[in-house]
Amino acid sequence: MPSPFPGVDPYLEHPDFWSELHNRLIVAIAIALAPSLRPKYHVAIDKRTYLGEADDSLLVGIPDVTVFTQRSTPDRPLSVATLADKEPIKVAVPLIETVQESYLEIRETGKNYAITVLEILSPKNKRSGAGRVAYEGKRSQVLASITNLVEIDLLRGGKPMPIVGNPPKTDYRILISRGVRRPISDLYAFNLPDAIPSFPLPLARGDLEPIVDLQHLINEVYEQAGFDTRIDYNQSCVPPLSEPDAAWANSLLQEKGFIAS
């Protein structure tokens, strides 16, 4: 069954689903693009790896440390320990995890450099911390080169990537930055009720740019993953929707039969 939403399904932003959606969508885009790019180009799936703090949902319990006591000798007086006035409270310390994020590179066949980099932002990219630092470093390198950048932001949560000026404040954004035209770039800005716009994939100057129908691809991924049977649409979105968007989504879900009226 297809998603009830005309564009981005906000329930897919939940931590239980986003990583899977991200990985499936990267592969789907690569498969869709490959035929139209051959033989001059090929699509490579690459990974960025860094160390970052684990999310709260990933924290695991650590077994209690076993304490070995030593039998006291008779000629040594025993020390008497007294209980502290207050009992300790349970706290969690940051755990470090290895994070891998997939992205696409369009490479000219036989040459070891990227013509275009396509990124789908993850929640870690949009929060302060190692994930954002790692991504912003990569982004700066691309923007300082002649490589094209396609940056897809399908996340309402977090801080958007920097753009010069005053771009419209919308839920979602797709940035197309061609190396030969920078700093001027194309921004597709859209909101929850909108369909995801299709966009041209920038290549080398003079080459025909294939159109990426991202809406079609994300719809296919939704059905292939069976998200309709796994998402509980009676629950609130994570992150929560604004009141107007929540009212709109509730009405839509009732109309589509995903929740009771």
Q: Which amino acid is at 19?
A: S
pTM: 0.84
Which domains can be identified in the chain, with CATH numbers?
A: 15-54+95-230 (3.90.1570), 235-261 (no CATH)
- The residues near 171 (Cβ < 8 Å, ≥ 6 apart) are 8, 156, 190, 191, 192
Q: In the predicted model, what is the mean pLDDT of residues 171-200?
A: 98
C-alpha of 22 from chain center: 6
Query: What phi and psi, each to the nearest 5 degrees, are found at residue 259?
Result: -135, 160
Q: In the predicted model, what is the mean pLDDT of residues 214-233?
A: 98
If residue 49 lies in a helix (H) or strand (E), which one and from where to where? strand 41-53
Q: Quick: pLDDT tens for 92-131.
A: 877 777 778 899 999 999 988 899 999 999 999 999 988 8
Pairwise pLDDT comparison (156 vs 97), residue with the higher score: 156
User: Do residues 11 and 20 lie in contact, with contact meaning Cβ atoms separated by under 8 Å?
Assistant: no
Lowest mean pLDDT among 41-45, 55-59, 108-112: 55-59
Q: Mean pLDDT across the chain, nearest whole number?
A: 88
Decide the pairing of beta strands 114-120 and 148-153. Answer: parallel
Q: Considering only CA atoms, which of 233, 232, 225 is closest in space to residue 249? A: 233
Q: Considering only CA atoms, which of 163, 213, 161, 158 is closest in space to residue 186? A: 163
Q: In the predicted model, what is the mean pLDDT of residues 220-237?
A: 97
